[in-house]
Amino acid sequence: MNGKIGLRAFSTLLAIMLVSVVMVPAMAMDAGALDIEKLDIVDPATLQERSPSFISELRSKGCSEEEIAEAIRSLPRVSYLDGWTEADDERVSPLLQQARDEVNYSMYGEIDPLTEDGVSAVKMCSSGIWLFDTVFQGVNGWVHPGLMECSSDGTRRQFLTTHLGKKIGTTANWIEIGIESVCDDPNPARYHVFTYDNNNISRPMVVHSNLTNGDRDYNFEIYVSDVQYPEGYPYMILWEGQVVRVGHVPFAEGDLNEVHEYVRNDPGSFSDVSTSYVCDSYVYYDGYGVWWNEQLDAQLAHPTQLHADTQEGVYGDFYRPWWSNAYRIDTWIA
């Protein structure tokens, strides 16, 4: 196929969300079970357009996947965007980390409210889509945050995010990139771009930028190399075509989701949130870019699953627009 890419053919045209209820455990399947001829392969022009220029340059020089993996490892561990600084990150990231610490958080949704004397418990609910087949090296898509309205007496915080992860034994391992909004943020931007790596014990949460415009699409990517090192498999996470984080994870393939998480006090109730969406995503599988649509689902033991906490007023819907190659997932509270 002329669309073959990744660390086997196009070597690393990289790649990249958080659910907060108990989900079905990931179940591995034989990669050979997918019939490549029946998948909707991404064309090379799209792959090149949506991948970082340095990967295209390395590939054009005939670099091997091992050489490209080394190039990934040589990048700065963390990068900031749009004038954001490490001092900004150190000021804001503890606030985001606190939200994770308030629950026994996992991308797979095992959460329990935690309380301290005089502090209200919190409740997290989510809506979004999942792929549980543990065969994916990453994802590239577009996210549109919208207003992401927050209120101190309703929906206090939101994470619109994408995850790639795997359970090893009973331990969940994952990386993610997303947008956060919080009611008590003194920053007038209201949105923050963050990444998370739960294997990085000393620094799991990093805030890379703030956003002032929620009424547009932003490109993101997560990609994991299949070249193994003592530290694990190199990964990189991109925002708007720029590498913002690299590191290592203990898996080369994992489960994927694109989800919207909402947090409120408990007791309490969510306030309305207008629609956000993620769209036009393709996944990395077996050296190919593959559009995330019904043709992919037809090949999977566990096709795309929708989760929504409708009893809490947390809704989601996914469908393929006539003009798109891939699903669009809408999320909202009403």
Buried b (16+ CB within 10 A) or exposed e, 61-87: eebebeebbbbbbebeebbbeeebeee
Q: 141: exposed, middle or buried (C-beta count within 10 Å: 0-12, 13-18, 19+)? A: buried
User: β-pairing, 288-291 with 233-239?
Assistant: unpaired
Residue 198: inside a domain: yes
Residue 23: inside a domain: no
Residue 214: inside a domain: yes
Q: Which residue, 108, 106, 103, 48, is CA-closest to 264?
A: 103
Whether 95 has a pLDDT exceeding 70, the answer reads: yes
Residue 14: inside a domain: no
**What percentage of residues in the chain have a pLDDT greater than 70?**
85
Mean pLDDT of 221-247: 97
Mean pLDDT, rounded, of the chain: 87
Residue 78: inside a domain: yes
Whether 167 has a pLDDT exceeding 80, the answer reads: yes
CB atoms within 10 A of CB 188: 7
Q: How confident is the model at residue 8 (pLDDT cuts 50, 70, 90)?
A: very low
Structural domain containing residue 41: 31-333
Residue 10: inside a domain: no
Which range (54-68, 113-127, 300-314) has the least confidence? 113-127
Q: How high is the pLDDT of residue 22?
A: 33
Whether 146 has a pLDDT exceeding 80, the answer reads: yes
Q: How confident is the model at residue 53 (pLDDT cuts 50, 70, 90)?
A: confident
Q: How high is the pLDDT of residue 109?
A: 76
Q: How confident is the model at residue 233 (pLDDT cuts 50, 70, 90)?
A: very high
Tokens of 203: 């620094």
Q: How confident is the model at residue 9 (pLDDT cuts 50, 70, 90)?
A: very low
Q: How high is the pLDDT of residue 55?
A: 82
Q: How high is the pLDDT of residue 10?
A: 40
Whether 224 has a pLDDT exceeding 70, the answer reads: yes
- pTM for this predicted structure: 0.87
Give DSSP secondary structure letters for 101-169. HTBT--TT----B--BTTB-EEEEEEEEEEEEEEEE-EEEEEEE-------TTS--EEEEEEEEEEEET
- Find out whether 248 and 235 touch, Cβ atoms under 8 Å: yes
CB atoms within 10 A of CB 220: 29
Whether 54 has a pLDDT exceeding 70, the answer reads: yes
| 245-298 residue pLDDT tens | 999 999 999 999 999 999 999 999 999 999 999 999 999 998 899 999 999 999
Q: 54: exposed, middle or buried (C-beta count within 10 Å: 0-12, 13-18, 19+)? A: middle
Mean pLDDT of 118-141: 89
Q: Which residue, 318, 320, 221, 327, is CA-closest to 275?
A: 318
Q: 323: exposed, middle or buried (C-beta count within 10 Å: 0-12, 13-18, 19+)? A: exposed
How many domains does one find in the chain?
1
Residue 228: inside a domain: yes
Residue 5: inside a domain: no
DSSP label of 194: E
